[in-house]
Structure 1
Amino acid sequence: MQLGRLTDPRLAQAFVDYMAVQRMPCEVRVDGHYYCIELLNAEHYQAAQQAFQAFAENPNHPRYRSASWQRADQSGVSFDYGSSGAPILHQIWLHAGPVTLVILIACLVIGLLNQIGLASTLFGWLHFPAPFAEQWPQIWRLWTPALMHIALIHLLFNVVWWWYLGGRIERVVSTSKLLELFLVGALFSNLLQGFLVGPNFLGLSGVVYALLGYVAVVQRKQPELAMPPAYIGFMLIWLVLGFAGLLGQQVANFAHLGGLLVGAVQGWFDARKR
């Protein structure tokens, strides 16, 4: 009897471990991208449903981690997290949907072209237009700065976060929601940075912060989106360090802030509907 489903195999296993300690045994059944929690004894269904609801509201509570430790030596659970022995490209493909992959590939291709000497040409085509400049009719420039990266470490940092957060949103919510977050997040973060600071900026970071803001707000109502609090904390600390001037002068801090606000507001609206 199914109690619910999750997209994170480690969270699924944590709940199964907790239920075993509570003497309401469950198992995990893999169904495509989802990990379905199946109750093995129907007489516990009502109590198990309540337990799953409590888990959904706070999947990172220490009691679930504690249950996993209690079972570590005697559980004998053999659970396939979907990663053992599979090629890394296959894992990237499984985690990502079409929008995630298209944006990721676009960033990598443009980054590669930058590395082989086309940086100035691409920047001339794709950079954010200076306010009131003759480039303003070129409407694509409001979005395309998000696809450009000059430094390799900047590119890798952003595409990994995009893959992690974007893939999660696309699989759990929808492809259209991720596309919406990309378009609105890139537009608002670029406009804020462009008007407050100037047009000489680039990178997917504003969109990444939009995804972060969205997940941070929605995950309490949709635990399939849950991510470790440490990840959210790291990105917020990174934002503060940028505004404090400790990351250099080239960081698009207002793009980060604008993206975070857009994502959080969208998450708030979506969470109210659930």
Structure 2
Amino acid sequence: MKPVVALRLPLGQDLRGFIALLERLKVPCRVSEDAGEQVLWVPDGHWAEEVRSLYARLPAGAPEPLLAGTPAPAGESAWRRARSSPVTLLVLLAALLVSLVTLMGENLALVRWFTFLDFHVQGDYLWFAPLSDTLSGQWWRLFSPILLHFWIPGMGPLHLVFNALWYWELGRRIEARQGGLMLVLLTLVFGLASNVAQYVYGGPGLFGGLSGVLYGLLGYCWLYQWLAPHPAFRLPRGVLAMMLGWLLLCLTGVFSLGGVAVANAAHVGGLLAGCASGLLGGALARWRR
């Protein structure tokens, strides 16, 4: 692959801050001198476009990169960052709203409207409707469990807090790079895959949460970045190892969240769907380059 010129700048232009920013973002580049100018080289035209766009916004570099893989101007408020990721924020607000109205799973009268299968309470038992009801006229149930989160004895709202933090971390990356519509599509696809996987493996039961979607987004960013590297999808060190390690720990069955069963099939189903999507998206992006 022949290197291409991303920038041509006067020799007096100080590029040290900008080059340091590119190094933090793992953007391959080198600088040479030609005809009295500084020339910034990158591997291909795709990288050249990204570098030009970045330089137009931050020619002097930036102190720290955003979680979404783009530099954050010094002094930028958390609210301004949230406004730049409206779809990510809306999904989290929807999950928070459902958690509040269902009292974190305690209000079964409202919980039943978000479960994969409808149910009614009889004594100490929950009686679930057949899957045909969901498939025939209650199609929203294929996706709605991702908004349900439960109160964990001894841990409180940890289920919601943990999922919200990781959706904020991963969702913003995809929204910043590929737009809100893509994030919505991936959230629905991974939600469907994780919900179906949990039902097929565990049968009728109460389950919910964004965890399966999170593993889908993780797999998507991981393999997309592997095939078509981009700063937005470069995960912080240790994130992948920690998330996969947590998944394996839960699969062993030795760990329990305050007596609440972990929806392992949802995690695995979401991860597999995310890896497949990442391979497809990364391969297409690599082919376009």
Is this a same-fold pair by TM over 0.5? yes
Q: Distance in 2 between matches of 1:24 and 1:191?
A: 55
Structure 1 partner of 2:278: 267
Cα distance, 1:246 vs. partner?
2.8
Rg comparison, structure with higher value = 2
Q: What do the CA deviations read for 1:106-132 (whole angstroms, capped 9, x no partner)?
A: 011112223388631221111111573
Please state if 1:223 is matched with 2:211: no
Q: Distance in 2 between matches of 1:210 and 1:18?
A: 24
Please state if 1:79 is matched with 2:79: no
Equivalent residue for 1:258, pick from 269, 275, 281 = 269
Structure 2 partner of 1:179: 184
Q: Distance in 1 between matches of 2:193 and 2:31?
A: 50
Check 1:205–1:10 CA distance in 2 against 1; reply closer, same or farther (3 A cut). farther
Q: Distance in 1 between matches of 2:38 and 2:133?
A: 68
Q: Distance in 2 between matches of 1:203 and 1:272?
A: 30
Equivalent residue for 2:93, pick from 85, 93, 105 = 105
Equivalent residue for 2:197, pick from 174, 192, 196 = 192
Please state if 1:13 is matched with 2:21: yes
Check 1:88–1:51 CA distance in 2 against 1; reply closer, same or farther (3 A cut). same
Structure 1 partner of 2:109: 121
Structure 2 partner of 1:141: 141
Structure 2 partner of 1:213: 219
Cα distance, 1:87 vs. partner?
3.3
Aligned length: 228
8 Å CA contact retained: 1:83, 1:91: no
Structure 2 counterpart SS, 1:125:
coil
Cα distance, 1:103 vs. partner?
0.9
Cα distance, 1:173 vs. partner?
1.6
Q: Distance in 1 between matches of 2:171 and 2:95?
A: 14
Equivalent residue for 2:42, pick from 34, 38, 49 = 49
Check 1:175–1:245 CA distance in 2 against 1; reply closer, same or farther (3 A cut). same
- The aligned amino acid for 1:174 is G
Check 1:17–1:172 CA distance in 2 against 1; reply closer, same or farther (3 A cut). closer
Check 1:207–1:16 CA distance in 2 against 1; reply closer, same or farther (3 A cut). closer
Structure 1 partner of 2:168: 163
Check 1:124–1:50 CA distance in 2 against 1; reply closer, same or farther (3 A cut). closer
Structure 1 partner of 2:121: none
Check 1:140–1:12 CA distance in 2 against 1; reply closer, same or farther (3 A cut). farther
Q: Distance in 2 between matches of 1:193 and 1:11?
A: 47
Q: Distance in 2 between matches of 1:135 and 1:51?
A: 52
Check 1:255–1:16 CA distance in 2 against 1; reply closer, same or farther (3 A cut). closer
Structure 2 partner of 1:90: 80
Query: Which deviates more from structure 2 when the two are superposed, residues 261-270 or residues 219-228?
Result: 219-228
Q: Distance in 1 between matches of 2:213 and 2:18?
A: 27
- The aligned amino acid for 1:149 is H
Structure 2 partner of 1:28: none
Structure 1 counterpart SS, 2:187:
helix
Q: 5+ residue gaps in structure 2?
A: 8-16, 48-59, 65-71, 118-127, 152-156
- The aligned amino acid for 1:145 is P
**Structure with more helix by fraction:** 1
Cα distance, 1:265 vs. partner?
0.3
Structure 2 partner of 1:237: 245
